[in-house]
């Protein structure tokens, strides 16, 4: 598959714009765990994923992470080229969650095409709006949902993403996704296990009762839960 087959508005570009992009995009491979982009001061370039999975997250002054969104096949990573968007003032880090192949579009080239092409400008604006919608959804989760609800939601989403009830991830990794401490996740998972919702093994969480986990995600936040659960 070529870059042209992955770029969503390719057919709406002029031959000159197509040639400019074709002559500048660079294939990139990232290994699982690679940190691709670290702050708004960097301008790595735009990434169009061919395969794999990336995680965008923010880091607190205390060193706690929280995942704000993920990127999959055919997704475009805009925030790795935040220099082309002057209104972006906050730091976002991008990490490869899986081995990933992508095309890197130099930021100056993308800006040039975006200024010339209404189709690319509209696509970029729609993509930006979509990313901020994901950030707003996260804010709502943090503000209005309890940690057990957020954890249940995360486990169900991760299971659907991986196509498996067995999630090969540590409590530390889950904590990084949810922006909390490992001890909080460990305590919550042990409570889930005592309720028959999951089974814990070293480096693995197995979902046992998805219906109860789903019901928990819709439970009113003020409703009383098990002893010791915050």
Domains defined for the chain, CATH in brackets: 12-142 (2.60.120.10), 145-217 (1.10.10.10)
Q: How does 173-211 read in b/e, with b if 16+ C-beta sit within 10 Å?
A: bbbbbbbbeeebbbbbbebbeebebbeeeeeebebeeee
Tokens found for residue 65: 């992470």
Confidence category of residue 142, pLDDT binned at 50, 70, 90: confident
The two tokens of residue 83 are 């220099």
| pLDDT of residue 154 exceeding 50 | yes
CB 134 within 8 A of CB 68: yes
The predicted structure's pLDDT at residue 137: 87
Reply yes or no on whether the pLDDT at 227 is more than 70. Answer: no
Pair 216, 183: CB distance under 8 Å: no
pLDDT in tens, 62-92: 888 899 999 999 999 888 877 776 666 667 8
Contacts by 213-219, CB closer than 8 A, 24 or more apart: 213/152, 213/155, 213/156, 214/152, 214/156, 216/148, 216/149, 216/152, 217/149, 217/152, 217/153, 217/156, 219/149
- Model-wide pTM > 0.85: no
End-to-end CA, the chain: 48
How much is the pLDDT for 94? 92
158-195 pLDDT, tens per residue? Answer: 999 999 999 999 999 999 999 999 999 999 999 999 99
CA distances from 201 to 105, 143, 186, 198 (A): 42, 31, 12, 10
Is pLDDT above 60 for 209? yes
- Which of 17-21, 49-53, 221-225 is predicted least confidently? 221-225
User: Do the Cβ atoms of 214 and 156 come closer than 8 Å?
Assistant: yes
CA distance linking residue 37 with residue 75, whole number of Å: 16
């Amino acid at each position: 598959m070529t870059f042209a087959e992955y770029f969503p508005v390719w057919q709406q570009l002029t031959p000159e714009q197509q040639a400019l992009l074709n002559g500048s995009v660079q294939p990139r491979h990232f290994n699982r765990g690679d940190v691709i982009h670290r702050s708004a001061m960097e301008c790595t370039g735009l990434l169009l994923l061919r395969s794999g999975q990336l995680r965008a997250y923010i880091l607190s002054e205390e060193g706690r992470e929280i995942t704000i969104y993920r990127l999959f096949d055919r997704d475009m990573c805009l925030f790795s080229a935040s220099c082309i968007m002057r209104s972006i003032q906050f730091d976002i880090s991008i990490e490869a969650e899986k081995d990933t192949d992508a095309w890197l579009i130099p930021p100056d080239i993308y800006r040039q095409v975006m200024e010339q092409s209404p189709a690319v400008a509209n696509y970029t604006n729609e993509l930006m709006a979509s990313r901020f919608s994901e950030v707003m959804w996260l804010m709502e989760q943090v503000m209005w949902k309890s940690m057990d609800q957020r954890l249940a939601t995360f486990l169900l989403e991760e299971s659907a993403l991986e196509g498996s009830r067995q999630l090969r991830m540590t409590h530390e990794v889950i904590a990084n996704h949810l922006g909390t401490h490992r001890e909080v996740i460990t305590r919550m998972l042990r409570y889930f296990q005592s309720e028959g919702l999951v089974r814990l093994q070293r480096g693995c969480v197995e979902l046992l009762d998805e219906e109860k986990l789903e019901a928990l995600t819709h439970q009113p936040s003020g409703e009383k839960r098990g002893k010791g659960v915050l």
